[in-house]
Structure 1
Amino acid sequence: MTTINLRDYYPFYTSDYFIDVPDEVAELFKEFDRKEAAYHLRTYRHKAYYSLDRNDGIEHEALFVSLSPYELYERKISMQELYAAISSLPDKQAKRIYAHFILGISKVDIARAEGVNEKVVRIAIERGLRNMEKYLKNFM
């Protein structure tokens, strides 16, 4: 167990607040501090305060900040809710919405693959989105 001061990590603590945490958690905090310092150093060295637009990866490396564990968890929960909403739809609507929005297949290509008119696919997707909206409103 390692003792850390929460005031060092959370700005809303106005006084010292010491807490014992497992060594793995303390190491994660140290790793985050090192990555944050490396990010600031990269932006300073490469003067990456503006777009470089060279597509050689410098801009991405200098400007990309990794997501926090909370943001990753929130994204995971959102995706689970989304997939639950899709699975609550009728089979054809679910397949068409998944193909169009997740796989990126155009409505025309979906219609051609299924041997139906494009309007049928478009209407099914619109109805499916409305049903998903109702499901998510009730879910939340």
Structure 2
Amino acid sequence: MIEINLKDVYSFYKTDVWVEVDEEIVHEMRRFDNLDNAYKLRVYRHRAYYSLDGNDGMEHQILFPVLSSEEKYEEAWLRQEIYKAMCQLSEKTFRRIYAHYFLGLSKVAIAQAEKVDERAVRKSISSGLKKLALLLDKVQL
């Protein structure tokens, strides 16, 4: 057992308070201090003083902005209109556009899955997007 002063460990202690602590715990506390000091030194050396990750929620707000009810409604309406327009495409074109843009598959992967030439997939997607643009132009946005 080793005696440590809690005043040295915790800043809110104003007077000396000595407690006996197991050696393993003291070892872990020293290891943590060494890791913390190494981190501070890296920050200093790389001049990385600023971060959005201040645990105040700022980073989360920037990455995932909260939408107003109007924005949510507009987004849902636009999604519905896009889906209506996509339903007017042929089944094959719909499937290829959905796989590429919504599922994130490459055109090569789609061609391999359908056992067709990649150029056919590219042409189908391209013509489908042109038709979608014409259909969505008719919708009053």
Q: Same fold (TM over 0.5)?
A: yes
1:85-114 deviations in whole A, cap 9, x for unaligned?
A: 111101100000000001111000000000
2:68 corresponds in structure 1 to 68
Task: Supply the distance in 2 between the matched residues of 1:99 and 1:85 (Cα, whole angstroms).
Answer: 16
Structure 2 CA distance, aligned partners of 1:92 and 1:57? 48
The count of residues paired between Structure 1 and Structure 2 equals 90
Q: Could you tell me how far apart the structure 2 residues matched to 1:99 and 1:57 are? A: 38
Matches of 1:97 and 1:128 in 2, distance apart?
Answer: 8
Q: CA deviation at 1:65?
A: 3.9
Q: Distance in 1 between matches of 2:56 and 2:107?
A: 34
The structure 1 segments of at least 4 consecutive aligned residues displaced by more than 6 Å after TM superposition are none
- Taking structure 1 as reference, are residues 65 and 127 closer, same or farther at Cα in structure 2, changes over 3 Å only? closer
Question: Contact between 1:52 and 1:59, CA under 8 Å: does it hold in 2?
Answer: no
1:29-108 equivalences under 5 Å are 52=51, 58-61=57-60, 63=62, 64-108=64-108
Structure 2 stretches lacking a partner, 5+ long = 1-49
1:99–1:110: 8 Å Cα contact kept in structure 2? yes
**Any unmatched runs of 5+ in structure 1?**
1-50
Q: Deviations over 1:34-92 (max 9, x none)?
A: xxxxxxxxxxxxxxxxx7266x8954235454110000000000100111111110110
Q: Quick one: distance in 2 between partners of 1:65 and 1:58? A: 11
Q: 1:38 — aligned with what?
A: none
* TM-score computed with the length of structure 1 as normaliser: 0.57
Distance in 1 between residues matched to 2:60 and 2:107, nearest whole Å: 36
What is the aligned-residue identity percentage?
38
The one-letter amino acid paired with 2:104 is: G
Bigger radius of gyration among the two? 2
Change in Cα spacing, 1:91 to 1:57, as seen in structure 2 (3 Å) is farther
Find the counterpart in structure 2 of residue 36 from structure 1: none
